[in-house]
Structure 1
Amino acid sequence: MTALLEVSSLRKSYGDRVVLDDVSLTVQPHDVICLIGSSGSGKSTLLRCLNLLEDIDDGVITFDGREISDPRVDAREVRSRIGMVFQAYNLFPHLSVLDNCTLAPRKVHGVRRTDAEARALSLLEKFGLADHARKHPDQMSGGQQQRAALVRALCTSPTLLLLDEITAALDPELVGEVLSIVRAEAEAGMTMVLATHEMAFARDVATSVCFLDEGRILEQGPPAEIFSNPREARTREFLRRVLPGGGE
């Protein structure tokens, strides 16, 4: 199977501080890759590099058979096929939920307003937000806003979905409602790379888990292997801190 996304020897630094060091990753169609690791390990920066929101210092990123790390590549065109959802929602506060969801399909993909609204309303209904379509983000709870941000990303029918700690800013009781959408999309075959602190979710849904430490992918493998029998001492130490029983 031809990989949808390949990252080879990626390096990224801010001044003298190396944030990503020799990172390589292969994502096949329908994979759900969970990035785990302590805050500051490079997870968010990696996702931003994949979406061309950050320039890289070295390495190659190939998406759907095309090198997108080439500086001559039109980043906006690449992003039109990659959905990204951020921790802070990033909904436009002056637009209704419906307008947030239809903006990219209309302005980037040239979809007619009636068609864009029909798809957005269908997705909003699917994820329990039909009654909120005409509201502005500040009229909704954090969980509702994050679900709306997910719908907005899905409205462009992305080939790849990147999720950056999307539950980190939510109250614990709202986490489940957001993760249920992600789980549904994973089960429907959406290809995803997500940074998460939700270990139970990663264990249940991921096809592969990558443990990042100080900007490197220290260990990668199936969830059962990473959580039950990690090879690296640093991985075991991390899991002992975040899981009861250290992942056993």
Structure 2
Amino acid sequence: MSGTVETAGATAEDGAAGTAPVLRLDAVRKTYGRDSVVLRDVDLEVAPHTVTALIGASGSGKSTLLRCANLLEEIDDGAIFLDGEEITDPRADVDAVRRRIGVVFQAYNLFPHMTVLDNITLAPRRVHRIPRAEAEARAHELLERLGLGGRAGAYPDRLSGGQQQRVAIVRALACRPRLLLLDEITAALDPELVGEVLAVVRDLKDQGMTMVLATHEMGFAREVADQVCFLDGGVILERGAPEQLFGAPREERTRQFLQRIIQAGRL
């Protein structure tokens, strides 16, 4: 890959909000049915141009937290704010909110009958009403910068898993999101392809993109995150800077989790 990845960078929203968080969760609670509590009174703040990593065992609530932040899941209590605006208010324009948040899932979710270029430009053209020529120029620029310059006309089944995931990231960036949510984006990849996707995230961090990522890549979280949150049973049990949380965790449950990760050779 060459060059850098253009992001939203500093915006008028930053100037208006100062150092106010881009994303804030206040006492967010999410249940499935009567007895399954997935998120328990979660509080979280994500500052502009920072990376927050969510770690924890499978089923701890990481993915649900991201889905709630993008309003793909309806919360049962609490509130979520984007740049100070309560997006969980029933009067909020859900479509307008989602236009400001990019999401990349572990499954690439590319349309198999569309070319790479059409996958990327669909939302800018249909949702944001960006002229085709402008949307395609943006797509070509991003593809080139992510090492996919010759793949615009290819169909997803002609790409490797790592290439498909990079296309999914390009698709999320094409709409110039305020916030990028990444949900286990390397989980479905062969080990040899993980590095190329993580390199993209590293580049996005360097360019100032605000991100929240759920990951099992502990070494990567330690390297790129400004804030790490350990979830257990739907609760953010511990949070802190990477050097603190990975080097000197305060909670016994955090220490147990990290010890298993170390024994598995993943940290």
TM-score (norm 1): 0.98
Aligned counterpart for 2:72 among listed residues 53, 60, 72: 53
SS in 2 for 1:152: helix
**Which of 66, 78, 95 is the matching residue for 2:85?**
66
- Distance in 2 (CA, whole Å) between partners of 1:11 and 1:203 is 27
* Counterpart Cα distance in 1 of 2:88 and 2:163: 34
Paired letter, 1:237: Q
From 9, 19, 27, the equivalent of 1:9 is 27
- Which residue of structure 1 lines up, in the alignment, with residue 55 of structure 2? 36
Moved over 3 A (4+): 244-248
* Equivalent residue number for residue 153 of structure 1: 172
**Root-mean-square deviation (Å):** 1.3
Instruction: Indicate if the aligned counterparts of 1:30 and 1:192 stay in contact, CA closer than 8 A.
Output: yes
Gaps of 5+ in 1: none
Task: Tell me if 1:231 matches 2:246.
Answer: no
1:165: which partner in 2? 184
What is the identity, as a one-letter code, of the residue corresponding to 1:162? L
Structure 2 counterpart SS, 1:201: helix
For the structure 1 residues 97 and 245, does the alpha-carbon distance in structure 2 shift closer, same or farther, using more than 3 Å as the test? closer
Residue 87 in structure 1 maps to residue 106 in structure 2: yes
Aligned amino acid, residue 246 of structure 2: F
Aligned residues of 1:199 and 1:243 also touching (Cα < 8 A) = no
Matched with 2:129 is 110
Identity rate of aligned residues, in percent? 65
Amino acid at match of 2:171: R
Verify: 1:27 aligned to 2:35, yes or no. Answer: no
Name the residue aligned to 1:18: 37
Read off the aligned partner of 1:114 and give its amino acid letter: A
Structure 2: which amino acid aligns with 1:57? D
SS of alignment partner, residue 94 of structure 1 = coil
How far 1:72 moved relative to its partner? 2.2
| Contact persistence 2:218–2:266 (CA under 8 A) | no
**SS of match in other structure, 2:150:** helix
* CA contact 2:217–2:266 (8 Å) conserved in 1: no
Amino acid in the other structure paired with 1:73: A
Shift, 1:246, TM fit: 9.2
Secondary structure of 1:129's aligned partner = coil
CA distance in 1, matches of 2:203, 2:66: 21
Counterpart of 2:147 in structure 1 is 128
Tell me if the contact between 2:219 and 2:266 (Cα under 8 Å) persists in the aligned partners.
no
- Cα distance in 2 for residues equivalent to 1:180 and 1:139: 22
> Structure 2: which 5+ residue stretches go unaligned?
1-18
Give the superposition deviation at 1:247. Answer: 9.4
Number of the residue aligned with 1:140? 159
SS in structure 2 at match of 1:148: helix
Alignment partner of 2:72: what SS?
coil
Task: Give, in whole Å, the separation in 1 of the partners of 2:227 and 2:265.
Answer: 19
Q: Is the CA contact (8 Å cut-off) linking 2:99 and 2:177 kept in structure 1?
A: yes
Q: 1:189 to 1:220 in 2, by over 3 A?
A: same
